[in-house]
Chains A and B, each alone.
Chain A
Amino acid sequence: MTLLASDTRRPRRSIWPALIWPALLLICLIPGLLNRAVSSLSAGQVPTLDTPLWKLTLSHLGLVLLAEVVVLLIGVPLAVAVTRPGRESLMRLAEAVAGLGQTVPTLAILALAVPALGFGVRPTLLGLLLYGLVPVVSNGIAGLLAVDKPTLDAARGMGMTDGQRLRRIELPLSLPVLLAGVRTSTVYNVGTATIGAALGASGLGTPIIEGLSQQNTGLVVIGALLAALLALSLDGLLGLAAAEEGQR
């Protein structure tokens, strides 16, 4: 068990570089600041939105995080289920579907869901789930497969049940790889949720789409800047969490 519950961590890496992007994001969210900064792009007028920027950012973040929670609830049990012994065919099927999900363009999936689910949050949420699942499932499978066989045999020799081995050995050992998948999936979904604005889901894509249709460059830049900062922030923060986990 020493490899799991050791308290002797190595000295931490500096966390400050990862906090640059969240700090920039918060500065940009100071009411009125960003709008005034981009006014030169909108023919001198300060672009305004019906919804305040912090609300758009929060609903964007909320959508991504909600999807990520559901993705974890589905993806991790799925990865565990298909990596049990004697399930090679199911695992291959899961990998093939995940590979297909990586190949098919985001917009195509989102758009294909519209005839079935209508406009708004629902098709976007479906797209976020499908796209979020891909890295989590494939990294989950890869992580669980990479667990050392002798380690598992040793655990069996110690008299651990299958459930104990899963909880105490396999899941902790595969956690870094799984976390990398969670990071990819979250960052990717910030982009997917941006495109979701084209289907009527409220978020940081909304100013981009509105600005493009009104030919208001300032509005486009506001949305694009905030979406980019949100993605970079989440990438940095989740990278920090993964590094912590890797250092244990």
Chain B
Amino acid sequence: MNSRPLAGAVGEHLSPALSSAARFSPDLQLVLWLGAAPMLAACWLPWVLLRPNRLAAGEFLRLPPLDIGLGLLAALATALAGRFLPRAVPLLASFALSLGAWWLGSRSGAAVQGQAEFARASVSSGVWLWLLGAAMTVYGAGLVGRRLGGAQPYLAWLWLPAVVLMALIGHFASWSVVAEYRVQHDRFFQELGRHLYLILVALGLATLIGAPLAVWASRNARVSGVVLGVAGGVQTVPSLALLGLLIAPLSALANAVPALRAVGVSGIGVAPALTAMTLYALLPVLRNGVVALRGVLPGVLDAARGMGMTDNQRFWRVQLPLALPVWLSGIRQAAVMLVGVASVAQLIGAGGLGYFIFSGLQSGAADLILLGALPAALLAIVLDILLRGLETLLGRRLGRA
């Protein structure tokens, strides 16, 4: 870790106080400054947009002078600590991010204080810029923490419980997006459930269809060429276009076979959305399946044959377990992609979080857009993290068994 040559200014006057700082390459400090710059700018930008109702024009409110001072101090302290006191960086970065979240709640709360019931306090450029900068700082702090070791990496995550706690005590209650959520509480969970339903069913169907195809294709070069080529072509087609192209054949099918209409097949709605999403998810499932199954070392399979295993046993006990972690990463890619396709599915009447995005776009209500877009983005990120964790777990369990 210390083999890196000491750079310029830090290396020249190496004093005991600076010895820990000297362990960091200058570019790590650059990351911290990259995060501090948007935070410094955010202090002067408008923080809250207060409007008499959710559609009217409004006035921008800035941070009070005392908070501006605190903000400047917090941003500068984090960046400077990278140079002089690296041990404090993870804690300071967590503080900066939590501070942004705290101000989001407290400033919007102060804005709607004494206003009429319909007044809405939306967050403005300052908040987004602060949160962006603080997130980069936290990322840099995570790198700092990993080099310091000990409990330091975890300190860079302290903002998470802080923000969750703020949410639980209702600190964000005055934020316009939360106000919008309160109005549409039931609808929100209905559409979120629909979103998850679309993703899970499409992912399940794609796995059910894709798994046998991948096994077949992995044993035959010509089949794999055709299957992967077709799936790749489908993936090239824009998702909205695929949804649109499926309307005509599916409605024709429903008209020709009335029994299908009875089970819900039609040109508009859940059926074409699920068909398109399943087709879309097939490529990552197939491609990773073929790559994973082919990637199992021939020597391992020969050893299994030498142990007297039948073909079936070799597949189920050796090839599949070894291939599973890589295969799962294809399923993760498919799942993350499906979160995005499912948000567009509202356009053909399939529902999901896209409902809020599109009704917000139609009525020009920014808060409604956020109510759909923020959970969709969070859902994708959380799904990605969870499935990555599962991959690592499976890799550890199966790879070294």
Contact = CB atoms under 8 A, between A and B. Distances in A.
Interface of A: 41, 86-90, 92-93, 96, 100, 102-109, 111-112, 114-116, 119, 187, 190-191, 194-195, 198-199, 204-205, 208-209, 211-212, 217, 220-221, 223-225, 227-228, 231-232, 235
9 contacts: A88-B27, A89-B25, A89-B143, A92-B143, A93-B31, A115-B369, A212-B347, A224-B242, A225-B241
Interface of B: 4, 7, 25-28, 30-31, 34, 122, 125, 136, 139-140, 143, 233, 236-245, 247-248, 251, 267, 336, 339-340, 343-344, 347-348, 354, 357-358, 360-361, 366, 369-370, 372-374, 376-377, 380-381, 384
Given A105-B340, A108-B373, A114-B366, A195 B236 contact: no
B268 to A, nearest CB: 8
Contact of A220 (B4, B236, B244, B354): B244
Given A88-B25, A89-B28, A112-B373, 5 more contacts: A102-B336, A111-B372, A115-B370, A198-B358, A208-B241
A232 B143 CA distance: 41
A96 B336 CA distance: 16
Contacts of B370: 112, 115
A199 B361 contact: yes
- The binding surface of chain B is classed by DSSP as helix
Contacts of B7: 86
Contact of A108 (B140, B243, B347, B376): B376
A205 B136 CA distance: 35
A198 B354 CA distance: 12
B30 A89 contact: yes
A227 B237 CA distance: 7
Given A198-B361, A221-B244, A232-B233, A190 B376 contact: no
Contacts of B381: 100, 103-104
- The binding surface of chain A is classed by DSSP as helix
B361 A228 contact: no
A210 B237 CA distance: 19
B241 A223 contact: yes
Given A191-B240, A199-B361, A212-B348, A90 B373 contact: no
Nearest to B364: A119
A228 B242 CA distance: 8
A93 B25 contact: no
B33 to A, nearest CB: 11
Contacts of A90: 27, 30-31
A26 to B, nearest CB: 18
A107 B340 contact: yes
A111 B344 CA distance: 11
Given A89-B25, A114-B366, A107 B373 contact: yes
Nearest to B333: A102
Contacts of B233: 232
A190 B28 CA distance: 36
Given A114-B361, A114-B369, A93 B241 contact: no
A51 B81 CA distance: 58
A213 B241 CA distance: 15
Contacts of A194: 238, 240-241
B373 A111 contact: yes
A115 B251 CA distance: 36
B206 to A, nearest CB: 18
Given A231-B238, A232-B233, A111 B357 contact: yes
